[in-house]
Structure 1
Amino acid sequence: MVVSDLGRNGHYDQKPVAATMGRIAEQIGPDAILALGDTHHYGGVESVTDPLWMTNYELIYDHPELMVNWYPVCGNHEYRGNTQAVIDYSGISRRWEMPARYYTKTFEDDGTTVKVVFLDTTPLIDKYRKKTDTYPDAVNQDTEAQLQWLEKTLTEATEDWIVVVGHHPIYAYTDKSESERTDMQKKVDTILRKHNVDMYICGHIHNYQHIRRPASKIDYVVNTSGSLTRTPKEIEGTVFCNNSPGFSVLTADKDNLKLNLLDKEGKTIHVVSRTK
């Protein structure tokens, strides 16, 4: 399961979406949940004992079938607070598994392997590095080290499917600063295209968008918010867009990789599908 932009203290559609996640999890038995940033709006968390861990996360996603491992990344809102606490919470919660700011996890089932590469995108975007009062920890991160790690990781990858995830989009419709996307295109997309990854999945924009770009074989997907959404518009390469809150479900076998985009009732409204 893939979620993003969750934390609204249970308001808007966060609780209904969480309930649907539990119901769907009962049916499919997910291996894990990928959390693509902004688990905590608006100012991140101050510590591993911040009450927001309860009101944004633990008491909301309380269904027994959601007690699987969650693999998160930081979003820009986490960077407004204590980002190290987001990592350190792995030592508090039995299901929060964040070993570093960027990392990989390989999933295997019936002989099929999927490598998920988790990126820390906020420090890769110059506007956040310049706003040291608002995002104090962004400028402290070594951008080149992360990009060199990404290059090495993808060079050495041998899994059947390669999925890269992060908080910020490479391509998307949004009224947010265009520099966010251009920085991601220059720094990240060039590496992803070089290695022909299968999908790049992100959050940040609070709606669903599936985009294919000329001269790229990658499926670029914006995952919707699990609480409060915004209305998207089509851009060049848009295959699908929708403002429903919800979450997605990633499945794979040797021949097929599918990302099912679900609304808050659990209905599949679009499928991103790749075949070998």
Structure 2
Amino acid sequence: MAPLHYLFLSLCFVSCTFAQLKRFHHSSMEDGSLNFLVVGDWGRRGDYNQSDVAFQMGKIGNELDIDFVLSTGDNFYDNGLTGVNDPTFEESFTKVYTATSLQKQWYSVLGNHDYRGDAEAQLDPILRKIDGRWLCLRSFVIDTEIAEFFFVDTTPFVDQYFAIPNEHSYDWRGIGVREKYMANLLKDLDSALRESHAKWKIVVGHHAIRSVGHHGDTEELVKRLLPILETNNVDFYMNGHDHCLEHITSKNSPLQFLTSGAGSKAWRGDAKGWNENGVQLFYDGQGFMSVQLNHMVAELRFYNVFGRVLHKWHMSKPLHSAI
């Protein structure tokens, strides 16, 4: 059971303005600040140091008194869940993230490995009955007053998953006509971002837009998603997919690219090398990220599997700036 200060009732479903993007509300702290953790590519029944990362997340979560956790996808390896009764859900989630500080809401997107299994299972409310922390949808918005989080289903954008023949099968139920799905999602995202008056705008997806890790830039997102983020003054794009920690500064806008995909198995020494953007951090080991927001400052910290701070960065905004 989550602690009383979590206030589950503050997570209220409100009327949906956009076709794809369901909206939820999560209350921030009394002073308007917000603290949370970001982790991705984690679900391996505690193996590959997942349990060690979870332990450090619990410690940092307690120190920061976090409000929630963001999962950047690839929640269950290697091939997602087989259904809502798959024991992998509890073995890789409930029984691993046991710290008191982590008994908060988890907001999750699907990754490409999740699509290899029963993708619909991760979206099913039955999982929330098994573990009330779990909330995973294809694309949605979390409104916290000080910040809005726009979760984007990036897997359908990647051409290689639709190649024929393909060594993997993917669960495309719920997608329908691919091009129509993507066009509607981008249209709804653009509308939601334009209408947002939040101090901070944060977009979360599984695949990287900019990365110097194993997979590198996702060209489909560079072409179709990045212009929308830059036009709408998005502050941070957070992703997983590459099993590393990265902070890359855009050369064209204030947008920061933040990879937190190091929740379990990592790829040592597997990097593509620096690109034309400003690489502030590349770490090819396990770890996670924390974010602290208030009306003036955002502070990011990246931690390794031992809880050591690898990189710290902050961004300031005028108190009364208009978005």
Same topology, TM > 0.5: yes
Report if the CA contact (8 A) 2:214-2:242 is conserved: no
> Pick from 222, 229, 234: which aligns with 2:274?
234
1:12 matched to 2:48? The reply is yes
For structure 1, which segment, 210-219 or 116-125, has the greater mean C-alpha deviation from structure 2 after superposition? 210-219
Shift of 1:13: 0.9
Residue 118 (structure 1) aligns with: 151
Residue 236 (structure 2) aligns with: 199
Shift of 1:273: 2.1
Residue 251 (structure 1) aligns with: 292
1:50-129 aligned within 5 A: 50-88=86-124, 89-98=127-136, 100-108=137-145, 113-129=146-162
Shift of 1:91: 4.3
Residue 34 (structure 2) aligns with: none
> TM-score, normalization: structure 1?
0.92
| CA displacement 1:143-193 (0-9 Å, x = unmatched) | 1111111111101110000011110000112343x6x61101111001001
1:138-157 aligned within 5 A: 140=176, 142-157=181-196
> Pick from 289, 300, 303: which aligns with 1:262?
303
Report if the CA contact (8 A) 2:110-2:138 is conserved: yes
Residue 166 (structure 1) aligns with: 205
Shift of 1:107: 2.1
Amino-acid identity (%):
30
Shift of 1:242: 1.0
Q: Which residues of structure 2 form unaligned runs of 5+?
A: 1-36, 318-323
Q: Any idea what SS the aligned residue of 2:134 has?
A: coil
| CA displacement 1:22-63 (0-9 Å, x = unmatched) | 122222221000011011011100111101102211111111
**Separation in structure 1 between the aligned mates of residue 131 and residue 86 of structure 2, nearest angstrom:** 13
Q: Any idea what SS the aligned residue of 1:159 has?
A: coil
> TM-score, normalization: structure 2?
0.79
Q: Which amino acid aligns with 2:192?
A: T
1:271 matched to 2:312? The reply is yes
Shift of 1:130: 3.4
> Pick from 61, 77, 82: which aligns with 1:46?
82
**Separation in structure 2 between the aligned mates of residue 274 and residue 57 of structure 1, nearest angstrom:** 32
**Separation in structure 1 between the aligned mates of residue 76 and residue 148 of structure 2, nearest angstrom:** 26
| CA displacement 1:55-95 (0-9 Å, x = unmatched) | 21111111122110000000000000111111112343211
Report if the CA contact (8 A) 1:260-1:272 is conserved: yes
* Counterparts in 2 of 1:97 and 1:136: CA distance versus 1, 3 Å: closer
Shift of 1:136: 3.3
Q: Which residues of structure 1 form unaligned runs of 5+?
A: none
Shift of 1:272: 3.5
> Pick from 136, 141, 144: which aligns with 2:171?
136
**Separation in structure 2 between the aligned mates of residue 161 and residue 221 of structure 1, nearest angstrom:** 15
Q: Any idea what SS the aligned residue of 1:62 has?
A: coil
Q: Which amino acid aligns with 1:153?
A: A
Report if the CA contact (8 A) 1:234-1:241 is conserved: no
**Separation in structure 1 between the aligned mates of residue 53 and residue 141 of structure 2, nearest angstrom:** 27
- RMSD of aligned C-alpha atoms? 1.7
Shift of 1:194: 0.6
Decide which structure has the larger Cα Rg and report it: 2
Residue 256 (structure 2) aligns with: 219
**Separation in structure 1 between the aligned mates of residue 245 and residue 48 of structure 2, nearest angstrom:** 17
Q: Any idea what SS the aligned residue of 1:77 has?
A: helix
Q: Which amino acid aligns with 1:47?
A: G
